[in-house]
Amino acid sequence: MTIARMVNGTPAGGEPVRTGVSGNEDRDISRLDGDGSRVDGEETRGMGMRQEYTLEGARSEHDDGDLRAVRARHAAGLAAARLLDAPKAAEAHLREALDVGAGAVPADELARWHSQLVMVLSGDAGRETELAEAALRAAEQWDGLSASAATHLTFVAARACHRAGHHARAAALFERPIAADAALYPATEMAVLRGQYGKSLTLTGKYLDAAEQFLEAARLVRTDRTRTELQAELASSAASALDAGGAEDRAQVAYLRAAQLWGELGRIGPRCRCLRAAAWLRYWAATTEPEREQGVAALREVLDELTARAGDAPSPEVTLELEHTHRQLADMRER
């Protein structure tokens, strides 16, 4: 869900999840993307407000003398005018508005201010922990007003914790909306989000749970030929998690699937690593000598493929993979 929609009080839709399993992660909310959002003197469009930013104007509008509400709205108006050009000042004004306005203005108004604070913090690198806390407070404020807004902000908090390396907390935050099948975003972005959840689960030792997230993420994009690299990354991650979790048979299948995808992309190193891992799983699962020979044969096929490639299109990467495969094949034969 876009912040512009959320602060307008129409929190339908989905905020693009631009962080990827590969590590090229963007900020959760880094810009306004509403309909013509701009700052224009006394009016801010796209912020869900139309008000004059003077205390006298606010007082004339509120004859009941509720000065806390007046002060809060005045501070929020100043914040809205500075969101784009002076985020630090906007943050200070928003914090004042939230502090003064609590209990003095309607819940939906507070919710919009909380969302604006999340937007400001998301554009300030290195404040992931603060962003997570602010997003959770905003989610609580939206709870009961908009389920999709609350869920989106919970995802923002989870992703911030993930980036900060707080993986146990990230996994806990991801769990509820994922389990509820809260598909707020397009399939590709949900796949990336599930991949992040899977990584946090992996880093907390929940390997089989992680594998299920990687596999489901891969399923979401399996028909999108523009996302083959993402599919390959997810299949590789699933294979590693299954391997670590002791599900060797399933891991072998996942490694072979990942190798196929890496091959389609012409990625020699990742393909060979997956093929070698699958060969070793076959070798270790063997209970007879002929079965062990099948593992040796699988690794030899990797060597043959690399040898042929070295003759046709030599490269430092091919040379390195040949060295690794020669060494592992020798090790396998000695066992």
pLDDT digits (tens, 9 = 90+) for 283-309: 999 999 999 999 999 999 999 999 999
In the chain, beta strands by DSSP E: 38-40, 43-45
Contact, 238 vs 214, CB < 8 A? yes
Under the banding of pLDDT at 50, 70 and 90, the label for residue 25 is very low
CA distance 97 to 79: 9
Contact, 220 vs 188, CB < 8 A? yes
Is pLDDT above 90 for 180?
Answer: no
CA distance 261 to 128: 34
pLDDT-above-90 percentage for the chain: 77
15-29, 45-59, 201-215, 275-289, range with the lowest pLDDT: 15-29
Is pLDDT above 90 for 160?
Answer: yes
Mean pLDDT of 159-180: 96
Mean pLDDT of 126-135: 97
- The mean pLDDT value of the chain amounts to 85
Is pLDDT above 90 for 55?
Answer: no
Residues in Cβ contact with 135 at an 8 Å cutoff, skipping those fewer than 6 apart:
28, 118, 153, 154, 156, 157, 160
Is pLDDT above 70 for 83?
Answer: yes
SS3 44: strand
Under the banding of pLDDT at 50, 70 and 90, the label for residue 56 is low
Distances (CA, A) of 171 to 23, 186, 202, 209: 17, 21, 10, 11
Is pLDDT above 80 for 28?
Answer: no
Is pLDDT above 50 for 10?
Answer: no
Is pLDDT above 70 for 225?
Answer: yes
CA distance 44 to 41: 8
